[in-house]
Amino acid sequence: MRRLVEVATPLGPAHAHVARPPRARGTVVLTHGASGRLGGRDLEAVRDGLLESGWAVASVQQAWGVAGRRMPPRPVPQDQAWLPVVLALRSGRGRLPGPLVLSGKSNGARVSCRTAAGLDADGVLCLSFPLHPPGRPEVSRADELRLPGAAAIPLHVVQGQRDPFGSPEEVRAELADPTQVTAVAGEHTITVTAPLVAAARAFVESLA
């Protein structure tokens, strides 16, 4: 079953494209990066792979993306507009089942990490976590990356070997457990999707 859910947020409406297989094993709420768009081979491949594994997937275009903004807002207003979307998907007659995994690419991985504890998430799956801007390792976002672990929420990161926003080795160095990072071929956008999908499926299935 597929449906579009529109959710009112402080930044305007957000759109959740929900695909729910029969007897879903849990729910992954998946969102985009700084482009504000859901299209892309990597996100579509992860969505389809998780559906094949029996998980419900809500692909969320955040409110600022629906509004056509070219850049995401600052973390606080972005998080304030993200929270009601996930809460709406997990309530009411069409409530999506747990376990709940928050997931996103790049900027979407950041918002997932920041809000996981407040949403009682059961896991966080980061696709291409932007540890730092290209060429500026001193501007680290490691504090966001470590938030799920501080709340005892399982975390996994799938990172391209040549990602200019942080190599797999750089990401591993910021986490207590190096097995929380899967290195795959590619850059910030992972175009060879089979290893990406395999890592995503393995992580969510470990939570079911």
Q: pLDDT tens string for the chain (208 positions)? A: 799 999 999 999 999 999 999 999 999 999 999 999 998 899 999 999 999 999 999 999 999 999 999 899 999 999 999 999 999 999 998 899 999 999 999 999 999 999 999 999 999 999 999 999 999 999 999 999 999 999 999 999 999 999 999 999 999 999 999 999 999 999 999 999 999 999 999 999 999 7
Q: The pTM is what? A: 0.97
Task: Give strand pairing partners of 57.
Answer: 19, 28
CATH topology of domain 2-205: Rossmann fold (3.40.50)
Contact assessment for residue 30 and residue 96, using Cβ atoms and an 8 Å cutoff: no
Q: Give the tokens for residue 181.
A: 């990072």
CA distance 4 to 2: 7
CA distance 148 to 129: 13
Contact assessment for residue 104 and residue 112, using Cβ atoms and an 8 Å cutoff: yes
